[in-house]
Amino acid sequence: MLLEGKTVLVTGASAGIGRAVAIGCARHGANVALNFSRDVDGANAAVAEIEALGRKGIAVQGDVSDPATATAFIAKAVEALGRVDVFVNNAGICPFHAFLDMPVDTFERTMKVNLHGAYFMVQAAANQMVKQGDGGSIIAMSSISALVGGEYQTHYTPTKAGLHSLMQSVAIALGKHNIRCNSLFPGTILTDINKDDLADQAKRTYMEGRIPLGRLGQPEDLVGPTVFLASDLAQYVTGASLLVDGGAYVNLQ
Ligand SMILES: NC(=O)C1=CN([C@@H]2O[C@H](COP(=O)(O)OP(=O)(O)OC[C@H]3O[C@@H](n4cnc5c(N)ncnc54)[C@H](O)[C@@H]3O)[C@@H](O)[C@H]2O)C=CC1
Ligand SMILES: C[C@H](O)[C@@H]1OC(=O)[C@H](O)[C@@H]1O
């Protein structure tokens, strides 16, 4: 098993991609700590699935936009599971809104959750890995939106480009500690984040038509790429990004 003996931490893991990745890592042998913001039932159900796989799991509540959540999450994970080998920064929001009348609080909240929160989470996880002294893997759930724009995502796409930029810089800062830092770039994955946006059938059909593999993504599509970057198979991969988009990005015409 690729993650046997490793401890994996995932933020925003009560639903969607984070949940699939947390359970997927457990399936590949890891013990897993989940951060979640509000959905206690979702978090407990994910922990139950992890335990049913014979692994240890814990759920820790906290809003990632508060820097204090980061140090508390890492401390509670270490207390329960002993160490941090892999940190997956997944929590994120995308409240679709037009540019010209973007409310200040929507802009600021998106920045705080997606980027500021990531910064302090990654910093806290990295400090724990440095203390342990035997390396680690940090993975940011960035997006294809780090590379392309979105009319109703002017507040969101900069956070995803920023997350990737953060991974590139911390890959340099942490290389000497053998801590690898990489980004995943999911395309459009069917989760709660875009349920309302894709309720527009015309838009959904258009999006599907743009994808060479012929379908929108599912949260489970992110499991293999995450497990790879988390595992020792990726021992010489750092500062990199991997598109997981069914080919959407390269399909210009
Ligand atoms: N679904 C998609 O098409 C894509 C998603 N992504 C990214 O993947 C990540 C996961 O999103 P999805 O699973 O799609 O959406 P989702 O809405 O199902 O999951 C987002 C998770 O983040 C949590 N979260 C939100 N605010 C939080 C906060 N302040 N503190 C702690 N947790 C918080 C939510 O509770 C939820 O569990 C996000 O960062 C998103 O930007 C990237 C590319 C495409
Ligand atoms: C939420 C969107 O459907 C999704 O988020 C991303 O990061 C992708 O680029 C899609 O736009």
**Model confidence pLDDT, tens digit, residues 183-209:** 999 999 999 999 999 999 999 999 999
| 3-class secondary structure, 180 | strand
Across 79-92, average pLDDT: 98
pLDDT at 253: 85
Q: How far apart are CA 188 and CA 245, in angstroms?
A: 7
The ligand 2 atom nearest the CA atom of 148: 9
* CA of 191 relative to ligand 2 center, distance in Å: 10
User: 54-65, pLDDT tens digit by residue?
Assistant: 999 999 999 999
Q: Is 249 a catalytic residue?
A: no
User: 123-135, pLDDT tens digit by residue?
Assistant: 999 999 999 999 9
Record the pTM.
0.98
pLDDT at 16: 98
Across 21-46, average pLDDT: 98
Provide the 10 A C-beta neighbour count for residue 48: 11
Residue 69 Cβ inside 6 Å of ligand 1? The answer reads no
pLDDT at 248: 98
Extended beta strands in 73-208, E state:
86-89, 136-141, 179-186
The ligand 1 atom nearest the CA atom of 114: 39
Ligand nearest to the CA of 144: 2
User: 101-152, pLDDT tens digit by residue?
Assistant: 999 999 999 999 999 999 999 999 999 999 999 999 999 999 999 999 999 9
Q: Is 160 a catalytic residue?
A: yes
Q: Is 14 a catalytic residue?
A: no
Q: How far apart are CA 223 and CA 172, in angstroms?
A: 26
The ligand 2 atom nearest the CA atom of 150: 11
Residue 141 Cβ inside 6 Å of ligand 1? The answer reads yes
User: 209-225, pLDDT tens digit by residue?
Assistant: 999 999 999 999 999 99
| Euclidean distance between the first and the last CA atom of the chain, given in angstroms as a whole number | 41
Instruction: Kindly provide the b/e burial profile for residues 52-61, where b requires at least 16 CB atoms within 10 angstroms of the residue's own CB.
Output: eeebbbbbbb
Give CB contacts under 8 A, 24+ apart, made by 204-212: 210/248, 210/251, 211/187, 211/245, 211/246, 211/247, 211/248, 211/251, 212/246, 212/247, 212/248, 212/250, 212/251
pLDDT category of residue 97 using cuts at 50, 70 and 90: very high
**What's the mean per-residue pLDDT of the chain?**
98
DSSP structure string for 4-21: TT-EEEESS-SSHHHHHH
User: 35-51, pLDDT tens digit by residue?
Assistant: 999 999 999 999 999 99
Structural domains of the chain sorted by starting position, each given as residue range(s) with its CATH number in brackets: 7-244 (3.40.50.720)
Q: How far apart are CA 179 and CA 186, in angstroms?
A: 22
Q: What are phi and psi of 223, to 5 degrees?
A: -70, -50
Ligand nearest to the CA of 191: 1
pLDDT at 149: 98
Token pair, residue 176, equals 């000497």
Across 11-33, average pLDDT: 98
* CA of 133 relative to ligand 1 center, distance in Å: 31
The residue contributing the CA closest to ligand 1 atom 18 is 16
pLDDT at 83: 98
Considering 14, 160, 183, 231, which one is annotated as catalytic? 160
202: amino acid identity, one letter: A
pLDDT at 235: 98
